[in-house]
């Protein structure tokens, strides 16, 4: 299953699968423009701007009005409509059921974040994949022997704890400590990601660890 990562992390998220499925839309329209002529379906996981960039959505609404959007909440419908997407191009899917969208079959399952968030399971040409990011836990998700795993591996627990303790010892300020505590409560550790992959991947599965923190991911000495 072919995929291309155009952005992954707090600076903006967008991954294209088999040219027709766009997973999140948190990067500039300029970076996306050449791909949009093939895109059939856009999945928006949640409302944060690194996953839903209003300026990009507005340009898609104007220049590519036939593209459909899949979401898991009415709040996302409201945000997309505010950006100019027509309501008949937005599909709110119930959780935990497969739906045939034509070229793509999709299934939403809830994740654990500080806003409503969902992962997407998808099937294209009889091959299955899963996209899961911005979640404190993935233990409740099962995806056995899928072809493609796009799963968050945001931080190394030991390194995050080290930075948190250093922040407390040095009195670095409430903002930095808030960021470190929020990371632990809203994002997936490298260890949890590895456990999920080991429990679910098959012999021929492909995986890509996404949404790595530049601050909390490097190896610990």
Q: Would you say residue 216 lies in a domain?
A: no
Determine the distance from the C-alpha atom of residue 149 to the mean position of all C-alpha atoms in its chain, rounded to a whole number: 12
CA distance 179 to 117: 19
Q: Would you say residue 12 lies in a domain?
A: yes
Listing DSSP states for 150-194 in one string gives: EEE--B-HHHHHHHHHHHHHHT--HHHHHHHHHHHHHS-BHHHHH
Indicate if the pLDDT at residue 172 is higher than 90.
Answer: no
pLDDT in tens, 42-74: 999 999 999 999 999 999 999 999 999 999 999
Q: Would you say residue 56 lies in a domain?
A: yes
Indicate if the pLDDT at residue 174 is higher than 90.
Answer: no
Indicate if the pLDDT at residue 220 is higher than 50.
Answer: no
Structural domains counted in the chain: 1
Contact 205, 148 (CB under 8 A): yes
pTM (two decimals): 0.95
What is the percent of the chain where pLDDT is above 90? 86
> In this predicted structure, what is the pLDDT of residue 219?
52
Q: Would you say residue 221 lies in a domain?
A: no
Q: Would you say residue 84 lies in a domain?
A: yes
> In this predicted structure, what is the pLDDT of residue 175?
83
Q: What is the mean pLDDT of residues 19-29?
A: 98
CATH at residue 145: 3.60.15.10
pLDDT-based confidence at 21, cuts 50/70/90? very high
Cα–Cα nearest to 56, from 31, 81, 77, 35:
31
Q: Would you say residue 217 lies in a domain?
A: no
pLDDT in tens, 182-215: 999 999 999 999 999 999 999 999 999 999 988 8
Indicate if the pLDDT at residue 16 is higher than 50.
Answer: yes
Q: Do β-strands 105-110 and 118-124 pair in parallel, antiparallel, or remain unpaired?
A: antiparallel
Helix (H) or strand (E) holding 29: helix 29-32
Contact 128, 106 (CB under 8 A): no
Domain that holds residue 93: 3-210
pLDDT-based confidence at 77, cuts 50/70/90? very high
pLDDT-based confidence at 221, cuts 50/70/90? very low
CA distance 189 to 221: 18
Q: Would you say residue 215 lies in a domain?
A: no
CA distance 130 to 41: 15
Q: Do β-strands 41-43 and 68-71 pair in parallel, antiparallel, or remain unpaired?
A: parallel
């Amino acid at each position: 299953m072919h995929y291309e990562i155009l952005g992954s992390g707090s600076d903006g998220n967008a991954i294209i699968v088999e040219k027709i499925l766009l997973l999140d839309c948190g990067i500039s329209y300029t970076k996306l423009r050449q791909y949009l002529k093939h895109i059939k379906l856009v999945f928006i996981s949640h409302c944060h701007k690194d996953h839903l960039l209003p300026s990009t959505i507005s340009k898609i609404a104007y220049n590519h009005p036939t593209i459909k959007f899949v979401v898991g909440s009415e709040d996302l419908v409201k945000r997309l409509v505010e950006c100019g997407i027509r309501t008949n191009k937005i599909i709110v899917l119930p959780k935990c059921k497969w739906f045939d969208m034509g070229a793509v079959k999709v299934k939403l399952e809830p994740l654990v974040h500080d806003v409503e968030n969902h992962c997407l399971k998808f099937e294209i040409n009889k091959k299955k994949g899963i996209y899961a990011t911005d979640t404190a836990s993935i233990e409740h998700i099962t995806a056995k022997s899928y072809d493609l795993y796009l799963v968050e591996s945001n931080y190394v627990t030991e390194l995050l704890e080290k930075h948190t303790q250093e922040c407390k010892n040095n009195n670095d300020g409430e903002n930095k400590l808030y960021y470190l505590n929020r990371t632990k409560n809203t994002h997936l550790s490298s260890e949890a990601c590895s456990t999920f992959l080991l429990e679910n991947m098959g012999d021929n599965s492909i995986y890509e660890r996404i949404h790595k923190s530049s601050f909390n991911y490097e190896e610990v000495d």
